[in-house]
Chain A
Amino acid sequence: MDQFVILCFAVVNSIALLALISLGLAVIFGMMRVINFAHGEFIMLGGYATVIANHAGVNLWLSMFVVSPMVVGLIGAVAERLIIRRLYGHLVTTMLATWGLSLFLIGAVTAIFGNTTLGVSAPLGNITIGAYSIGAYQLFLIAVTALLVVCSLLALHWTKYGLIARAAMQNAEMAATLGVDCDRVYATTFIIGAATSGLAGALLAPISGVLPHMGAAYVARAFVTVISGGGALITGFLSAATILGPVEALLSYFATPVVGQASLLLLAVIILRLFPTGVSSLWTGGR
């Protein structure tokens, strides 16, 4: 029984983790069709911002929920101005440019903070279930992720900004004839996506620590989740996370984490064979 609870927890945790590391990427890719190869580095920078701020005496929660999103959002704003905006519509060039950005960010962080792991200790302590114990902080992470997803859905479907963003995403020229400043919508979207990735990195810092190269550990899984999710912005990557997460968690548990991650990639390949435009084409009719 205890083992079953722990297993359930691992499954939910794995889904939440995939969703958390994918949300920022899903926003940027889903709305702008920009493939941001620096996504992993936005996560990394979010982690660093929290660790550095916390070491400098800023309250941990404040560092995570305010400092990191602001810092990474700001970096996103600069990147949008200097790179992304100039390359809209050039998918491959944008990929290369953001890859360059990712290398630059890794190099800069290594030069400033060194190639060593920094960390903050996980707050909130442990919860014991029979012979097992799980970190209360991980439960907290699951809750925050759920909240982030719900807020994104509400923002997209119930706010004026969400309506404008969906319109700009579907047809920019038409949106412009209705008075929508699409450049501004794109810039805002990119900044929100970056800030969200920054927050994800901040939330992960107490668990994983921070390292200049840490982005690589997340970026592949985030891409796989977003691509297999397909066109529907939030529900797409969420359903992909719900399919992929349990497989990864269970195989990691019964075999090894490497088998878990390998099977995640394999399953994604199968999904994309069955639904070339992602699982969400099931309910959006491929649009």
Chain B
Amino acid sequence: MSGFPILATRGLVKRFGGVAAVDGVDLVVDAGEIRCLIGPNGAGKSTLFKCLTHQHQPTSGHVLFEGRDLQGLPTHLIARRGIAIKNQIPSIYANLDVRENIRLATLRRKLTKRELDRAVDLVLAEIGFDNLLAERPAATLSHAHRQWCELGMLLASDPRLALLDEPTAGMTREEMLRTVDIIKRLNATATVIVVEHDLEFIARLAQKVTVLHRGKVLVEDSMERIEANETVRDIYLGRKKDAAYAEG
């Protein structure tokens, strides 16, 4: 697999009716990276993610995963190839308990029952859930714990590439910091692309940041340079900071 970037999109387009939510994206991510994807609301970040997993069928363009075109593959086969996604809307099975949720995510791996049990226990430890929490129906978890349960599912599926759509939404700073640690752990074995709005979170994690605006890649650079970029300040960071000043 070496020689190929783990993910490359070529002219990826997704239209909803007349609106091009993703409008010709060429994104290249190397194996082992933590890439942050930022952009104002409606920029097309979530839609881009869903095109990578074929939860949305791209209107045109190509997605190459480890050098192979994913065209025509159904979502479950993409998952089995090793792309895991945490969608923006909370996606855990509310009626199942935490352990069952995580066990579900391990099923794509070819492991014996013993190994699966051990993998589930390991993940529970990594996301800091004790036995009491593990037996609870996911519906009864706090907001932050649900997000961690989802991250646990990602860890459990042992992906090659993990897509995280706003994993710290609605978290306190403490909770965000804990999430940073979990994602660093995930990055030890997987390439990570993460959509976030929280600047501290991005600064702590990302080596490289890609800014998406109106379905197109605007710039791609280090966080410091992005923060200094006038256009980006105008369309995104500036507005965000103004809002922060206005609030505080």
A74 CB, min distance to chain B CBs, angstroms? 26
Q: Find out whether the CB atom of A179 lies under 8 angstroms from the CB atom of B55.
A: no
Partner of A179, one of B93, B94, B157: B157
Q: Find out whether the CB atom of A176 lies under 8 angstroms from the CB atom of B94.
A: no
- B102-134 interface code vs A (CB 8 A; 1 in, 0 out): 011101100000000000000000000000000
- B66-110 interface code vs A (CB 8 A; 1 in, 0 out): 000000001111011000110100010111100010011101100
Q: Does B212 contact A (CB under 8 A)?
A: no
Task: Please list 10 pairs of residues, one from A and one from B, whose beta carbons are closer than 8 Å in the complex, sorted by A's number.
Answer: A160-B107, A163-B104, A167-B96, A176-B75, A177-B55, A177-B91, A178-B153, A179-B107, A180-B76, A182-B76
Most chain A CB neighbours (cut-off 10 Å) among B75, B100, B107: B75
Partner of B91, one of A174, A179, A287: A174
Given A164-B107, A166-B96, A177-B87, 18 further pairs, Cβ under 8 A = A163-B100, A163-B104, A170-B96, A173-B55, A173-B75, A174-B93, A177-B55, A177-B75, A177-B84, A177-B91, A178-B76, A178-B79, A178-B108, A178-B153, A179-B157, A181-B76, A284-B95, A287-B94
Q: Does A171 contact B (CB under 8 A)?
A: yes
Q: Does B53 contact A (CB under 8 A)?
A: yes
For A, the interface residue count at a CB cutoff of 8 angstroms equals 19
Q: How far is A174 from B103 in the complex, measured between Cα atoms in Å?
A: 14
Q: How far is A182 from B100 in the complex, measured between Cα atoms in Å?
A: 18
How many of chain B's residues touch chain A, expressed as a range? 20 to 34
Q: Find out whether the CB atom of B100 lies under 8 angstroms from the CB atom of A179.
A: no
Chain B residue with Cβ nearest A287: B95
Q: Find out whether the CB atom of A179 lies under 8 angstroms from the CB atom of B76.
A: yes
Q: How far is A78 from B103 in the complex, measured between Cα atoms in Å?
A: 32
- A238-268 interface code vs B (CB 8 A; 1 in, 0 out): 0000000000000000000000000000000
Chain B residues, Cβ within 8 Å of A164 = 104, 107
Chain B residues, Cβ within 8 Å of A181 = 74, 76
Most chain B CB neighbours (cut-off 10 Å) among A177, A181, A284: A177
Q: Find out whether the CB atom of B93 lies under 8 angstroms from the CB atom of A170.
A: yes
B138 CB, min distance to chain A CBs, angstroms? 11
Q: How far is A170 from B53 in the complex, measured between Cα atoms in Å?
A: 20
Partner of B80, one of A166, A174, A179, A284: A179
Q: Which 4 A-B pairs have the closest CB atoms?
A: A179-B108, A179-B79, A176-B75, A176-B76
Q: How far is A176 from B95 in the complex, measured between Cα atoms in Å?
A: 17
Q: How far is A181 from B53 in the complex, measured between Cα atoms in Å?
A: 14
Q: Find out whether the CB atom of A177 lies under 8 angstroms from the CB atom of B79.
A: yes
Q: Find out whether the CB atom of A171 lies under 8 angstroms from the CB atom of B91.
A: yes
Chain A residues, Cβ within 8 Å of B53 = 177
Chain B residues, Cβ within 8 Å of A173 = 55, 75
- A162-199 interface code vs B (CB 8 A; 1 in, 0 out): 01101100110111111111100000000000000000
Q: How far is A174 from B55 in the complex, measured between Cα atoms in Å?
A: 9
Chain B residues, Cβ within 8 Å of A177 = 53, 55, 75-76, 79, 84-85, 87, 91
Chain B residues, Cβ within 8 Å of A178 = 76, 79, 104-105, 107-108, 153, 157
Partner of B93, one of A167, A176, A284: A167
A232 CB, min distance to chain B CBs, angstroms? 10
Chain A residue with Cβ nearest B109: A179
- A132-174 interface code vs B (CB 8 A; 1 in, 0 out): 0000000000000000000000000000100110110011011
List which A89-119 residues lie within 8 A (CB) of chain B.
none
Chain A residues, Cβ within 8 Å of B80 = 179
Chain B residues, Cβ within 8 Å of A180 = 76, 104, 107
Chain B residues, Cβ within 8 Å of A176 = 55, 74-76, 79
Q: How far is A284 from B139 in the complex, measured between Cα atoms in Å?
A: 12
Chain B residues, Cβ within 8 Å of A284 = 95
Chain A residues, Cβ within 8 Å of B87 = 174, 177
Chain B residues, Cβ within 8 Å of A287 = 94-95
- A261-287 interface code vs B (CB 8 A; 1 in, 0 out): 000000000000000000000001001
Q: How far is A278 from B160 in the complex, measured between Cα atoms in Å?
A: 44
Chain B residue with Cβ nearest A170: B93
Chain B residues, Cβ within 8 Å of A179 = 76-77, 79-80, 107-108, 157
Q: How far is A166 from B153 in the complex, measured between Cα atoms in Å?
A: 16
Chain B residues, Cβ within 8 Å of A171 = 91, 93
